[in-house]
Chains A and B, each alone.
Chain A
Amino acid sequence: MLSRRHLLHYTLGAGAALGVAGMLPAWARSSSDGNLGITSASGTAFDLEIAEFPVRINGKTGKAVGINGQLPGPLLRFREGETVTLNVTNKLQEDTSVHWHGLLVPFQMDGVPGVTFPGIKPGKTYRYQFPVRQNGTYWYHSHSGLQEQLGHYGPIIIEPSERDPIAYDREYVLVLSDWSFTDPHRIYAKLKNNAESLNFQRRTLPDFLRDAANSGFSDTLKDRAMWGKMRMSPRDLADVGAPTYTYLINGHSTAENFNIVFHPGERVRLRIINASAMSLFNVRIPGLPMTVVQSDGLNIQPIETDEFQMGVAETYDVIVAPEDDQTYAFVAESIDRSGQAVATLGPRPGLRAAVPDLRPVPSLTMKDMGMSHKSMAGMSDMENRPTMSDMSGMSSMDHMTHGDMPLTAMGPDPHGPPTQLASVEASLKKGPGVANIAAMPSSRLNEPGIGLSDQPHRTLTYSQLRSLEPNPDSRSPQREVVIHLTSNMERYMWSFDGVKFSEVTQSIRFREGERVRLTLINDTMMPHPIHLHGMFFDLVNGGGDHKPRKHTVVVKPAEKLSVDVSAEHVGDWAFHCHLLYHMHAGMMQVVSVLPSTDKMPMDHDMMGHDMPMEHEMPMDHDMMDHSAMGHDKPEEMK
């Protein structure tokens, strides 16, 4: 029931939302249990203070580390073309930093301690200053220790210098996150000591009985034996879930019901940012289709869908156009279905949409293990049914991994690379840090997120994404760098190519101006949101010269996917899994873009640590397209 005080707040909220629209920025037009949305700051100069402060979540007090005393931090509004100055002051007892996620900034402004700058010491202020060369939805967060888990993140909206191709009447930024009252170092220690201890979605006796009733005792036993033999769990969907986590939308739990207010008939733009430490989210608004118009800050050709999975650090902008005077639930459900955050989308503030039940926990399949056809033939069909239909495409995928035309019969792509690229791939062996090497990794771009293939409604896939504008660099890649995502869940070890960040002796090296194909092979059972600072991934998904360009790309279990990268910005750029504890365990590297004047021989110097080179074809200068390498080419970011 609403108290009078609450009603007063709601009324004020309603006034802000509907009466004095224009006086307040769109994000502030909602109210929820007396809380207005998150505050915003705009202009060209910003003062940000990083400190510890108390927060109240679900009636319980916790200790946050964040920006200007707010969880999430203030919304920063930039304008494309301006130069912004951000003075970040550290009021903590430990070092801190701010990284501008997805923003193309001079590398010494990128905010990664030990890579691009020394970090910000306690009591010190670091002045970030950079020209804003993009527009769209981005975010910012700490790159120090485990501060992201504690609330050190906030949204960024950059208004375009020209007319926004996306039309909307009202906008909201929705920052999704996972809050814990447990200290993040304690969470990490628990994962190290007992990697499954924070997973309360494991298979139990009732699951066995249910499966036995559905598929027969013998098949169920075979299925259990098969997973047991591999020492792997089909419910290894998230390392940390509820009840350790409380999921939040703009700092509000489901009970605290963040309100998104609309006028029926309006086009409402939702700028959704996954600022979680560890949680991929399934996002849906039951009964209301969403038109996805932007991903990772860059516009895409509008595509209507009912649900999509968001990797940590990805952003999606969607347009919804509710016609009816009714409430809708905006649902962000964690990938392991252990919990969700629900906000209300309603015609008036103070309403509450019915909260849908959590859906049944999905199980991983043999496909997530990267098993070969042969070993798959003998397995129980039970678990595989939802994704089995996708398997028909697999044989054709095998010889596509180097091409730019995965699933559809598009004919030869004139922009495609030569069939064989000079490729650098680490020799990888199983060992304490590498429990598995996918025997048959495949393209999974035409699948929705893990656990969503059997939904009765439309689900978004990476293969559907097309950039709105033509790609700024349509050159074919000149060489390929293959990176394996590796782990041993039992020891909670995570790495690239079996080498933890602590063991890296040399960065991965790109030369300024070159176009590189980065191929990622996931040898683990988990989806990893992989993020490269300083440049965008042109996702090789069949989009030709309209590939979606992303700063963070989710690589599904046993998936092999490729992105093309233009090494335009000289500097050392962090390259890592955006699951915080995976990064903390070592799933990180550095990509150095070296000035083109530097000598850069194609020998061991190029390869980083432990990467013997395989010359699949002679890589001499005649093979490179000199005409395409010139700097007179129009480049988007310059």
Chain B
Amino acid sequence: MRKVMFAALAAIAVTTSASAQAHDDQPPSSSEKPWSQADAYFGKETMADARRAVQAGGGAQNSFYVLFNQLEAQFSDESESLYWNGQASWGDDINKLWIKSEGRTSLNGDGTEDAELQALYSRAISPYWNLQAGVRHDFEPHGLTHGVLALQGLAPYWFEIDASAFLSEKGDLTARFEAEYEFLLTQRLILQPRIEANFSAQDIAERETGSGLNSIDAGLRLRYEFVRELAPYVGVEWQSEFGGSRDYTRVAGGDPDQVVVVGGIRTWF
């Protein structure tokens, strides 16, 4: 399975360089300009500059995007914590730098439980899907670096999907699957069901993770978009652990099944 992932990473690199050529069927010729009749009136150089500028302004612009899908306080019987899940991207239509971050910090003075940051190269491979590869670093609970391969996009029926595989520097393979949907109750009142599942290919004792499916978080968040970019929400989330992970939590005296009430802000710009 690890081999498969490495092969896939290699495949991305190859696809990337191969499809970069895809638009240039015609042999490039330096003497052949896209059009040039105004050169006679205004000069070659002047028109070349203007042509570059107008073409760049016709689809080659870079765009910048930041989304905090979740920036919320979570309240359960046992604890209160602050949870974030956000991403940012920068680049053109096809190639982007994609940053993702997720983490949780205790509001009971227990410090930051989890904090990870991913830096990925993202390439649009089809109308709705991006293939992403890069690194993830966990700052908490332990410093640990992973290679990442992810597929992010929009599935039929408007499901937003992010499926990632991680290979840690210690050789452990894990995966995460996130899916969400949006029900428009009105133009501004939006109900968002969301599910996140984590898997592991092996038992990782130091992370208290069993092999197989180890957790599912299923949430329902209701937000009101005062403006599209800023929407406060409330919600509820069921957080359950399974298999070995469930046992680790039980042994540690925790509850592997929790219902948390959440409240926060969804924002993008």
Dominant secondary structure of chain B at its interface with chain A:
loop
A432 touching B41, Cβ below 8 Å: no
Interface residues on chain A, number (Cβ under 8 Å): 66
B37 touching A500, Cβ below 8 Å: no
Which residue of A is nearest B45, CB measured?
A118
> Any chain A CB within 8 A of the CB of B64?
yes
Which one of A198, A205, A594 has the greatest number of beta carbons of chain B within 10 Å?
A205
A114 touching B50, Cβ below 8 Å: yes
B157 touching A225, Cβ below 8 Å: yes
Pick the contact of B32 from A435, A490, A506, A571 — CB < 8 Å? A506
* Given A113-B50, A590-B35, A206:B186 Cβ within 8 A: yes
Contact mask for chain A residues 181-208; partner B; CB cutoff 8 A; 1 contact, 0 none = 0000000011011100110111111100
B38 touching A108, Cβ below 8 Å: yes
Write out the residue numbers on chain A whose beta carbons fall within 8 Å of the beta carbon of B126. 430-432
Q: Of the 9-residue stretches A284-292, A343-351, A462-470, A578-586, which lies at the interface with chain B?
A: A578-586
Pick the contact of B187 from A112, A200, A502 — CB < 8 Å? A200
Which one of B34, B51, B125, B157 has the greatest number of beta carbons of chain A within 10 Å?
B34
* Given A119-B50, A493-B59, A499-B23, A505:B127 Cβ within 8 A: no
Write out the residue numbers on chain A whose beta carbons fall within 8 Å of the beta carbon of B269. 193
Write out the residue numbers on chain B whose beta carbons fall within 8 Å of the beta carbon of A505. 24, 26, 28, 32, 34
* Given A193-B63, A202-B184, A115:B268 Cβ within 8 A: no
B59 touching A495, Cβ below 8 Å: yes
* Given A490-B128, A505-B26, A585-B59, A205:B184 Cβ within 8 A: yes
* Given A205-B186, A504-B34, A609-B26, A488:B127 Cβ within 8 A: yes
Pick the contact of B65 from A145, A193, A572, A586 — CB < 8 Å? A193
> Any chain B CB within 8 A of the CB of A458?
no
B50 touching A586, Cβ below 8 Å: no
Write out the residue numbers on chain A whose beta carbons fall within 8 Å of the beta carbon of B49. 118
B35 touching A592, Cβ below 8 Å: yes
B187 touching A205, Cβ below 8 Å: no
B157 touching A229, Cβ below 8 Å: yes
> Any chain A CB within 8 A of the CB of B1?
no
Interface residues on chain B, number (Cβ under 8 Å): 52
* Given A118-B50, A204-B187, A228-B158, A432:B124 Cβ within 8 A: yes
Which residue of A is nearest B89, CB measured?
A193
CB distance from A522 to the nearest CB of B (A): 17
Contact mask for chain A residues 473-516; partner B; CB cutoff 8 A; 1 contact, 0 none = 00000000000000010110111000111111111000000000
B37 touching A205, Cβ below 8 Å: no
* Given A108-B41, A502-B59, A229:B154 Cβ within 8 A: no
Which residue of A is nearest B46, CB measured?
A118
Pick the contact of B23 from A200, A430, A506, A610 — CB < 8 Å? A610
B63 touching A572, Cβ below 8 Å: no
> Any chain A CB within 8 A of the CB of B13?
no
Docked complex Cα distance between A108 and B41 (Å): 7
Pick the contact of B127 from A490, A494, A501 — CB < 8 Å? A490
Which residue of A is nearest B123, CB measured?
A432
14 contacts between A and B (CB under 8 A): A115-B51, A189-B64, A201-B187, A204-B187, A205-B185, A225-B157, A228-B158, A431-B126, A435-B128, A491-B93, A493-B93, A501-B58, A505-B32, A584-B61
